[in-house]
Structure 1
Amino acid sequence: MFHSRLHSLSCFLISLLLSASLFTSLSILADPAMAQDKRQNAPGEFDFYVLSLSWSPSFCEEAAERGGRSQIQCSGRPYAFVVHGLWPQYENGFPEYCQRPAPRLNRNIVSSMLDLMPAPGLIFNEWDKHGTCSGLSERNYFEAIRKARATVKIPAEFLDLSQARTVAPADVEEAFIKANPGLSSAAVSVTCNRTRLSEVRICMSKDLQFRACEELDRRACRRDQVTMPPIRGG
């Protein structure tokens, strides 16, 4: 009797372990962020870029609400969409911090990028976290950012937004598609926080052509409407 119960308990425990293992495996398959690419963090080994354009007025309002120190880009100059970064991506997941420590970034390069990325801290961080994964030199990486940004035309209705505007994320996406021939809904997504539009993210091939990317849509804003705060200064 004792041996029979011990055998039953052993079988039950083994069943639990197998179930837990299966659940973990299924969870990893269901969450691409948990499934590491075999090339993880190898410089230059990635599939495509994401050009992230941040709506600066939203960033500044959020910074003010947090009560942090004043951000350089929030000093009153009329910034609209600014470049957050150009991010190497895998089809599932993304590399980051591919060289530790990162090669030292020349301050002349930082100064040259302030028209697109109006905060030195942002530029340094983007190089450390994402630029080192591009496989490009510092100068070539930031030249790629400039070329990527020049490829994208900002819709006219967002160039001089003098009053707060309530928008549907789908309409913002559609405006970018209309303004940029060759850009499809599979290559662009809009992100948001609880109330405000945050970013427009556009997928590009390594040679900076628009391309589809399924994973981007999984991180998109799911709200029906969000606010775009007005551009400051100007």
Structure 2
Amino acid sequence: MSAAAVFLRLRGFLFAAAVLLAAAAATLSGTPAHAQQDQPGAFDFYVLALSWSPTYCEDKGAGAADEPQCSVARPYAFVVHGLWPQYERGFPQSCQRPAPYVPGRLVSDMLDVMPSKRLVIHEWKKHGTCSGLSAERYFGLVRAARHKVVVPPEFVRLMDYRTVAPAEVEAAFRAANPGLAPDMLSVECDRRRLTEVRVCLSRELEFRACPDVDRRACRLSRMVMPPVRGAR
């Protein structure tokens, strides 16, 4: 048998052995390997994602006509996209299938900070179920996190298009939130516009570092902020 044939046979043997060992480990633990993560309550910190609503509405275009968030007035500036449990690298999602029911009253109560019933339900299913909390407690924490983070006053009623550097937005949030350091938030963008500001919080809702989130920040030198319309 040639050396090449011996090498190929040995490689096949080692691969088969690795597969058998993985299967045995999963059997002994009683849990499939892919289910080792995404467990309710098993995470390191939260990200509060604040979406720049005018960018979202521009993206949706005519398809947003039936969404209160994107009505003709389009009155919203930063809104809560979600409160996301995170690992130091990566994040869990959809930790309970099916997700526990969210009462309609609770969904309606969140519309002042998350102005879309569909968004509220989606965020509960994808992220809230990973918090290890009931829906009532999770959405209470969402509201507390939103109150923790002060939106800079210059972004509350932006009535015309504005071009800014991501660093300017970050600096404004840091000035409005003492204790918020550069490695504790991330300014996000699409190809030309501001999309979100993501702030990292401990389980106790204290600002905390999150290098993996920070390194994915917007790389544009300048970006556009579409305006808010109307007033709230």
TM-score, scaled to structure 1? 0.84
Please say if 1:63 is aligned against 2:49: no
The answer (yes or no) to whether the contact 1:52–1:199 under 8 Å persists in 2 is yes
Please say if 1:126 is aligned against 2:123: yes
Please say if 1:79 is aligned against 2:76: yes
Size of the alignment, in residue pairs? Answer: 211
Partner residue in 1 for 2:18: none
* 1:40-189 alignment runs, 5 A limit: 40-64=37-61, 67-70=62-65, 71-75=67-71, 76-189=73-186
Structure 1 unmatched ranges of 5 or more: 19-35
**Alpha-carbon offset, residue 78 of structure 1:** 1.1
The answer (yes or no) to whether the contact 2:49–2:196 under 8 Å persists in 1 is yes
SS of 1:125's partner is helix
SS of 1:128's partner is helix
Of the three residues 201, 211, 222, the one matched with 2:208 is: 211
**Alpha-carbon offset, residue 8 of structure 1:** 3.6
Identity percentage of aligned residues:
55
Of the three residues 221, 227, 231, the one matched with 2:228 is: 231
Work out the CA distance in 2 between the residues paired with 1:183 and 1:62. 30
The answer (yes or no) to whether the contact 2:57–2:64 under 8 Å persists in 1 is no
Work out the CA distance in 2 between the residues paired with 1:100 and 1:214. 30
Work out the CA distance in 1 between the residues paired with 2:54 and 2:40. 33
SS of 1:68's partner is helix
Work out the CA distance in 1 between the residues paired with 2:226 and 2:36. 40
The answer (yes or no) to whether the contact 2:64–2:70 under 8 Å persists in 1 is no
TM-score, scaled to structure 2? 0.85
Please say if 1:201 is aligned against 2:198: yes
Structure 2 unmatched ranges of 5 or more: 15-32
**Alpha-carbon offset, residue 219 of structure 1:** 1.8
SS of 1:177's partner is helix
